[in-house]
Amino acid sequence: MNIHPIKESIKANIQQSEDLVIKELKAEEKYLEVIYINTICDETQLQDFLIKPFFEIGENSHFLSYLLSHPKVKLFDSKKTVQEELISGKSVVFFENHIFLLDSKLDKNNTVTETSVEVTILGPQSGFSESLPTNVGLIRQRYPEKTLVIESTNIGSISKTSVNIVYDSKKVDQDVLNKVKEFLSSIEIEMFQSGEQLLDFTKKSKRTLFPTIMVTERPDRTAVNIAAGKVILLIAGSPFAMLMPTVLKDQMSAMADIYQTYWIGKFLLIVRYIGLITTITLPALYVALTSYNPEVFRAQLALSVAGSRHAVPYPSFVEVIIMLLMMELLMEASIRLPKAIGSTATTVGGLILGQAATEAGLVSNIMIIIVSLGAISNFVIPISTFSFAVRVSKYFILLLSIFYGLVGVILGVFMLLAYMVSLDSFGKPYLTFREERV
Amino acid sequence: MNQNVKRMMVVLVFLLLGFFLTGCGFKDIDKRLFVVSVAIDPVKENPKRVLVSLKFAVPIVEKISNESFIISQEGDTIAEAVRLMKSRVDKEIDFSHAKLIVYHEDVLKDEIEPNLYYWFIRRRDFQEMSWVAIGRPTALEVLKAKPKSERLPSNSLFLALGRDGTETAYIIPEYLFDFKKRFGEKGLDPLLPIIETKKDLFDINKVALLDKKKLKLELTPKETMLLNLFLTESPKTALKIADGENSFIIDTRAVKTKYKLITENQKDPHIKVDIHVNGRVEEAQFNVRNKDLKQYEKTANKDLEKKVHAVLKKIQEANVDPIGFGLRYRGRHMEKDDWKTWQRLYPELKFIINVNTNISDTGLVE
């Protein structure tokens, strides 16, 4: 085979850039040429698997058989694939009349990180890394079953992010699997960086409020969910796995539920649901009760609420909106800020601003309690994508309560419920509470 | 996509239109004046007019609670008086926490004007679980009283009547909805507790019995307590038992009262009352012995039978029926003229009382 035209065409097709390396190796009668991109290529592997043997093995035929039998070396397929592989980090080796691909991809970010989003007191503490093979390895370790299937695909027309579909072929629901594959093939996106981007594609309108895919950073949760028959997506470069299908009760469950004793787990679950209801309805209830239906309060409470609102110049809903906005700004700020001064922001914002706002008569004492209770309840929700959705949906009910009072709250909760009922996650109704076998 | 935008617009328009429908329901809590109790007094010069007094609670600001003020206004009707009052205060009058309606006796002495209680039922913001009572010397005086232990305006009365605070068999609370029902129901007559005020103290231990029109009878505290045995499930009380010269007191833990109308035998119609008393000796003027408990029980039975009989007789003679014997009769009889038969029967009914006391111990270790 004449490799020269191919070599030339590859060189011509690849844009000249700083990190493209074309190296010729010569030793006695042996001659070898290698092309790679040094920024995404592991040069120590190149050194170990290619350069050292090249100089150590004397004869041409011996070196050829070494290359042919090396597990990391693949024979040339076609021109197009060669170029793609080169861009994704492999080295192209021209030796004699053969073209080889050496898998020398640099596996960056393969350190396993500690969980930071879904923290538990008990149970495993490590999360996924940002490297796909490492993550697959983590799952394999936790799920040593021969029925575990790992399929590979790419998403993103530019990013070509490699995605692994992981499931247990024995336990998976075939309908769900087909739907997931159909869903993945239907995605049109240029840059695919992290699984959270998929959430918007779950609806035709591409506008989603409640996530129907779970995003988790915990390998233990992923393994448990594989056993429950779910389909897992692992995305290269993202320390989060996507679990499908996911319904409300999954979003409300924490891994700690399994690691606690039965009654403690149930108690914590109930507390979490109370938190969910509180955070959604509390600001709206405040407006409805103080401005429309104060008879619902006990006399004591009504009088002290009235007393604490005495100096407040604005109607209750302006008060609530001011405080909620402040809270949202605080939360956003504390994410953006570097960790070292993050706590300062919360102190300044939460304590000093809140205290000053009441003393200035801008908001009432009770309001501070309502807003902070609502915010705390929001943090109780274990899955952060869902907790964001809840954070937004409380404004909808608040809006209705401003105009219709208590009836508005009921209407809002009803509409929210109706919306959730209308959702489904890959064929599974969103509000189902049926337990799966684990 | 276009279709979607259109639909969104339609929804938005309806939502916006809806915002105009809200009316003037929105009124912040600090723009309302909460009425805690209402007093209705007669006007001496003109018996047709009423004097309405409202007690307003002042919101709690910085540890200052139990602040209140009273505004009184004469008017032909309650509604008129309240409307006139609105021009005398700075905020919207809110009745949603008005939990006590006090009437002056004289309003009930001759015929009570139904509007004097129907007005409260008709009002949307008036809760029907408010209490109704008679105030002495006047209804206004009851509103003015301010016991030392009170932390919120009128709250001590709410606690006493609601049994959240003190629990006693001498208070028979009456709710507005029940009061209304008793006016309409044949065979069940209204009753009202009497609140007497002396300086800043209350005394609620009597009950006034009404027929469908006016006040008929007032019971003494002891009679009130015995009547309460019929009205409340196992009231906590102390029963004084006379034993010849001496007497002892049973602290009741459970009292169960059942009654049966036996009217089939036309010659001898009677009401059979069974009272089970469970308790222990709390106080005695003589040396109590454990082995004599059976005998004390017997004495108690006899004494209680006599006392209960006297109360029932007194109520019967006034021809009022607060316990609802008539309602029970109507409930168990299907004849066309059952009500007429009952009206004929009731004045001459006999009461057979059967008390079964069970004294568990003397309260002491011998």
Over residues B124-133, the pLDDT tens digits come to: 888 888 999 9
Task: Select from A172, A171, A228, A144 the least CA-distant residue to A438.
Answer: A228
Task: Encode B11-39: b = buried (16+ Cβ within 10 Å), e = exposed.
Answer: eeeeeeeeeeeeeeebbbbbebbbbbbbb
Please, what is the average pLDDT of chain A? 84
Find residue B133's DSSP bridge partners: B102
B127 φ/ψ angles, rounded to the nearest 5 degrees: -85, 135
Label residue A278 by pLDDT band (50, 70, 90).
very high
Least confident of A93-97, A165-169, A235-239, B179-183: A93-97
pLDDT for res A438: 46
Q: Is A358 an 8 Å CB contact of chain B?
A: no
Q: Which residue has the higher pLDDT, A309 or A412?
A: A412
Shortest Cα distance, chain B CAs vs residue A188, angstroms: 18
A72 φ/ψ angles, rounded to the nearest 5 degrees: -90, 0
Mean pLDDT of A346-368: 81
- Judging contacts by C-beta atoms under 8 Å, the chain A residues touching residue B97 are 294-295, 299, 302
A/B interface, count of CB pairs below 8 Å: 77
Q: Which residue has the higher pLDDT, A28 or A131?
A: A131
Shortest Cα distance, chain A CAs vs residue B11, angstroms: 14
Whether residue A312 and residue B127 make contact (CB cut-off 8 A), yes or no, is no
Q: Which residue has the higher pLDDT, A78 or A259?
A: A259
pLDDT digits (tens, 9 = 90+) for B235-252: 778 888 887 778 888 888
| CB-facing half-sphere around the CA of A254: CA atoms within 13 A | 28
Q: Is the pLDDT of residue B37 over 50?
A: yes
Which ipTM score applies to this complex?
0.75
Q: Is it true that the peptide bond before A245 is cis, omega within 30 degrees of 0?
A: yes
Whether residue B152 and residue A304 make contact (CB cut-off 8 A), yes or no, is no
Q: Which residue has the higher pLDDT, B25 or A179?
A: A179
Sorted by where each begins, the domain ranges of chain A are 4-102, 132-246, 257-429
**A128 vs A241: CA distance, rounded Å:** 8
**Residue B92 CB contacts under 8 Å (≥ 6 apart), including other chains:** B27, B31, B32, B33, B86
Q: Is the pLDDT of residue A108 over 80?
A: no
- Judging contacts by C-beta atoms under 8 Å, the chain A residues touching residue B23 are none
pLDDT for res B177: 92
Least confident of A205-209, A239-243, B171-175: A205-209
Task: Select from B179, B161, B157 the least CA-distant residue to B170.
Answer: B161
Task: Select from A73, A65, A64, A74 the least CA-distant residue to A30.
Answer: A64
Q: B293-317 vs B221-231: helix axis angle to the nearest 10?
A: 100
Shortest Cα distance, chain B CAs vs residue A329, angstroms: 27
